[in-house]
Amino acid sequence: MTPMEIALAEARAAAARGEVPVGAVVLDGGGAVLARAGNEVEARHDASAHAELLALRAAAALRGEVRLPDCELVVTLEPCPMCAQAASFFRVRRLVFGAYDPKGGGIEHGARVFDATSCSHRPEVVGGVREAEAGVLLRTFFASRR
């Protein structure tokens, strides 16, 4: 499985649990999976339990390190400002995301966290990877809630 396929599997699992279908995976410098997660906001009653934060925290704990400078974060949706800032704080080398989020994104839209003068680290960013597939997951999930 590719990293985005792993993230998409996590997103599907999140949707099956009634969570917004977002999945994330953290890879080490050699491409090995350190951590993977799907949203757990509802289950944890925690607005910060986004897939990205859960995966970054787990990867850092596994390594016993505060920062992940050789790592890559792959996520199915453009990270929100909170998660974009977390990627900066964790010092990830690269951030790859699927669907763009014009309403709540924090990288290409909205706050544009990495473009702020206060941002101390800007990872390499690649957006739109399997964008259509990630977008369908989200649209289907929200359509079923309306």
| Residue 126: partners with Cβ closer than 8 Å, 6 or more residues away | 94, 95, 96, 97
| Residue 17: partners with Cβ closer than 8 Å, 6 or more residues away | 38, 40, 42, 43
Q: Active-site residue among 19, 40, 52, 72?
A: 52
Backbone φ and ψ for 96, nearest 5 degrees, come out as -120, 130
Answer for the pair 21, 12: CB distance below 8 angstroms, yes or no. Answer: yes
Answer for the pair 95, 79: CB distance below 8 angstroms, yes or no. Answer: yes
Whole-angstrom Cα distance, residue 69 to residue 104? Answer: 26
Of 76, 52, 73, 75, the residue nearest 135 (C-alpha): 76
Query: Quick check: is 52 catalytic?
Result: yes
Active-site positions read: 52
